[in-house]
Amino acid sequence: MVATDPVRVLVTGAAGQIGYALVPMIARGVMLGPNQPVILHMLDIEPAADALKGVKMELIDAAFPLLRGVVATTDVTEACKGVNIAVMVGGFPRKEGMERKDVMSKNVSIYKAQASALEQHAASDCKVLVVANPANTNALILKEFAPSIPEKNITCLTRLDHNRALGQISERVNVHVSDVKNVIIWGNHSSTQYPDVNHATINTSSGHKPVKELVSDDNWVKTEFISIVQQRGAAIIKARKLSSALSAASAACDHIRDWVLGTPKGSWVSMGVYSDGSYGIQPGLIYSFPVTCEKGDWNIVQGLKIDEFSREKMDKTAEELIEEKTLAKSCLN
Ligand SMILES: NC(=O)C1=CN([C@@H]2O[C@H](COP(=O)(O)OP(=O)(O)OC[C@H]3O[C@@H](n4cnc5c(N)ncnc54)[C@H](O)[C@@H]3O)[C@@H](O)[C@H]2O)C=CC1
Ligand SMILES: O=C([O-])CC(=O)C(=O)O
């Protein structure tokens, strides 16, 4: 067996609920595969220092074979040193009755500050995934305040929404979730996101069939389905009195795994990435697109036919991102 150098993975907000679900997944190989050793860097703030210490103790107690070291710190410089992957979860979650942009002023200033630490101390090819809300706009702020990190390396999480869409289709048609593919989440990780099944298929005993044909209810696809996915985060908060954690952690692993190891042939995933103007979306926004990944790089799927209904929804969520960008900048002034 060839010895593999450990990959350093930073998780910010590691003492929080997503962090608590995420770090054991990373240490078990869920994110980077069963043969890839990891060193976990965990950052949280001073009031959470004891809880963070406790998480480190539990990681040691779990005796994970792939875990080659743990850095648990409240010092952002120490946390960022040499990291190859940064999963940015640190921040404040929304509570019942709030929109995700309501946590904007608290969270964007964190991303401005941590951008410089990553820029100065992370590995030069570090891949960044922003999870904390408002995820797209936090990623945009991070990109703007870390100009030397290549824009292709800064992404945000919409894979949870993508997985939620797969889950809803699988329940509706009564098929296994892994037989559903190529849904798309366009735009913002917010209630304006557009979950689109126009190009999605289901693997059946007689080949891949369009989701729309098997659902056979256009009205459901255009109304209830979209709003269930858009509102799923709020529904979880209502039920748990806390926002999604295990599904968010799992989606973060899916996002990084596919980015690093590649998407399966013939299928794509949704990632919040830097817009190059594809599909008429303003360049420079961090917008969720369908992407394929290969050799550690993502590429936006090109050439999909966009009907009028989709166009309107894709533009509406882009408009919200433009508004969020202005709001974020005013919070930082
Ligand atoms: N993009 C997505 O799909 C999802 C995003 N989220 C977002 O993820 C974020 C974290 O959620 P939870 O883990 O549930 O929240 P949480 O409150 O349980 O944990 C957040 C942690 O971040 C820490 N923190 C605060 N400021 C920090 C800073 N400057 N540096 C490092 N750590 C800091 C807190 O001390 C806390 O331990 C929230 O913003 C939430 O809205 C949650 C679910 C899905
Ligand atoms: O809804 C929230 O505030 C947490 C989140 O982003 C999600 O569950 O999608």
pLDDT, one tens digit per residue, over 151-193 is: 999 999 999 999 999 999 999 999 999 999 999 999 999 999 9
Question: What pLDDT does residue 208 have?
Answer: 96
Length of the chain: 333
- Give the percent of the chain with pLDDT over 70: 99
Q: Does 134 share its domain with 208?
A: no
ipTM of the shown complex:
0.99
Question: What pLDDT does residue 2 have?
Answer: 46
Question: Alpha-carbon distance 20 to 30, whole Å?
Answer: 14
Q: Which domain holds residue 127?
A: 7-156
Is any ligand 1 atom within 6 A of the Cβ of residue 243? yes
Question: What pLDDT does residue 19 have?
Answer: 98
User: How many Å lie between the centroid of ligand 2 and the Cα of residue 3?
Assistant: 39
- Residue with CA nearest ligand 1 atom 38: 93
Q: Residue ranges for the binding site? A: 13-19, 44, 94, 100, 107, 131-133, 164
State the amino acid at position 163 in one-letter form. Answer: N
3-state secondary structure of 121: helix
Question: What pLDDT does residue 3 have?
Answer: 58
Q: Judge whether 269 lies within some domain.
A: yes
Q: Does 172 share its domain with 147?
A: no
Question: What pLDDT does residue 1 have?
Answer: 40
Average pLDDT, the chain: 96
User: How many Å lie between the centroid of ligand 1 and the Cα of residue 86?
Assistant: 14
Catalytic residues, by residue number, are 189
**Residue at which a domain ends, from 156, 180, 202:** 156
Q: Does 196 share its domain with 218?
A: yes
Question: What pLDDT does residue 95 have?
Answer: 80
Q: For 267-317, what is each residue's pLDDT tens digit?
A: 999 999 999 999 999 999 999 999 999 999 999 999 999 999 999 999 999
Q: Does 142 share its domain with 175?
A: no
Is any ligand 1 atom within 6 A of the Cβ of residue 130? no
Q: Does 320 share its domain with 183?
A: yes
- Flag residues of the chain having pLDDT under 50: 1-2
Q: Judge whether 1 lies within some domain.
A: no
Please name which of 49, 35, 73, 310 lies closest in space to residue 193, comparing C-alpha atoms: 310
Token look-up 């936090």 returns 138
